[in-house]
Amino acid sequence: MKQDYTLHGWQLSYFSGKTRGYLNFKGLDFKDKNVNAYDLMYRIPKKTGAMVMPAIQTKQGEWLQDSTIIMEELDKRHPGSCVTPTTPKQLMAAMLLEAWLDEWWIPIGMHYRWSYPENYSLFINDASKGLLPYVPNVLRKPIAKKIAKGLQNFLPLAGVRKEQFKMMENWTEKTLDVFESHFAQHKFLLGDKPCIADFALLGPLYGHLNRDPAPKRDLLDVRPNLQNWVERCHAGEGKQGAYIKNDEIPETLTPIFKTIFEEFYPMVDDIVVKLKSFIGDKDKISGDHISRSVGDITFPMNGERFSRAGLPYTVWMMQRIKKCFQSLSREDKQQVDSWSQQYGYQSLSNQDLGPELKRTAVTTQLA
């Protein structure tokens, strides 16, 4: 009998791990299918408009792409064990964590994969088997190496630049220590049940940091609480759990939200500045497409300055959060503002996020 859903992805894929953990938690009937060359080059782009993974195919022939949209849509279709908190502070906290984990952590995941040669053979082996499963190694490995070269060419844009390696590594060690301490006290980020943010954290940690040999040995094997969280989150545990009572945010995550407000928010602000400059003063017609990057941005990281390409998609993620905040009742907004003010941020409604954006496949456009 045909499964309700097919997950097109790879074990080594950043966002496939996020999506697979979510599907496991929901207990949905799905087939986990390795993306082959035909899927990647032709079928997925034809169905979704983008050469990306993961993608979800329904039994009825629908296609969903983008892990955030996939979880949002499937939660609507299967409301049992919804992974989006319903109380105001936990809702906003989960959405902020998801945006930060999806967008900020990309250079971290890419650095720990591609800057350590011992990881290379695992990528080539997995990618070659996925792309051309029925072709001999001698023929399929050169194609996987070509894919690897394309990904490596993207590294400087993502901020994976040699002069920033030490900065990223210091930041990562410090941040993973916070999560290690948190998971010593809590099964998941907001209690005994995973939320959208848990699956976002699974993105960089499952496929990259806890699977590639170098970061697994140096970062996760020495942090058993964090490693155990990766395993239970990916396996879909926590179905009978609940979020912390009274809409509380764990104190153990205070350093994480300090990082978000002091580092991620300035990153978003710089993208908005570059986005406005990119658009220019001339009138724009609704639907105009925007480049995937609007140029280099610079923002704080652990007391230093980090540079990478600014992605309008990040702004689109934050605009979703702002719209959700604006839909809250006055009382709920006040509760959220009271929480954000402890980090020196007066209100989630204050940030200038530029012109409204609309997501189309992997690009954004003016709404």
pLDDT digits (tens, 9 = 90+) for 36-65: 888 988 899 999 888 889 999 999 999 999
Q: How far apart are alpha carbons 4 and 203 in whole angstroms?
A: 23
Q: Which domains does the chain have, with CATH numbers?
A: 5-77 (3.40.30.10), 88-114+161-247 (1.20.1050.10), 119-158 (no CATH), 251-366 (no CATH)
Whether the per-residue pLDDT at 362 is higher than 70: the answer is no
Mean pLDDT over 272-286 rounds to 72
Among 168, 51, 65, 37, which Cα is nearest to 114's?
A: 168
CB atoms within 10 A of CB 359: 18
Mean pLDDT over 316-339 rounds to 96
Q: What percent of the chain has pLDDT over 90?
A: 75
Mean pLDDT over 129-154 rounds to 82
Mean pLDDT over 112-137 rounds to 88
Q: In the prediction, which pLDDT does 157 show?
A: 93
Structure tokens at 70: 């996939």
Structure tokens at 119: 């990881």
Mean pLDDT over 246-254 rounds to 98
Q: What is the 3-state secondary structure (H, E, C) of 128-145?
A: HHHHCCCCCHHHHHHHHH
Q: In the prediction, which pLDDT does 366 show?
A: 39
Is the model more confident about 169 or about 143?
Answer: 169
Q: What is the pLDDT of residues 63-119, one digit of tens each?
A: 999 999 999 999 999 998 899 999 999 999 999 999 999 999 999 999 999 999 999
Q: In the prediction, which pLDDT does 7 show?
A: 96
In single-letter form, the type of residue at position 161 comes to R
pTM of the predicted protein model = 0.93
Label the pairing between strands 5-9 and 55-58: antiparallel
Q: In the prediction, which pLDDT does 249 show?
A: 98
- Give Dmax (Cα) for the chain: 64
Mean pLDDT value across the chain: 92
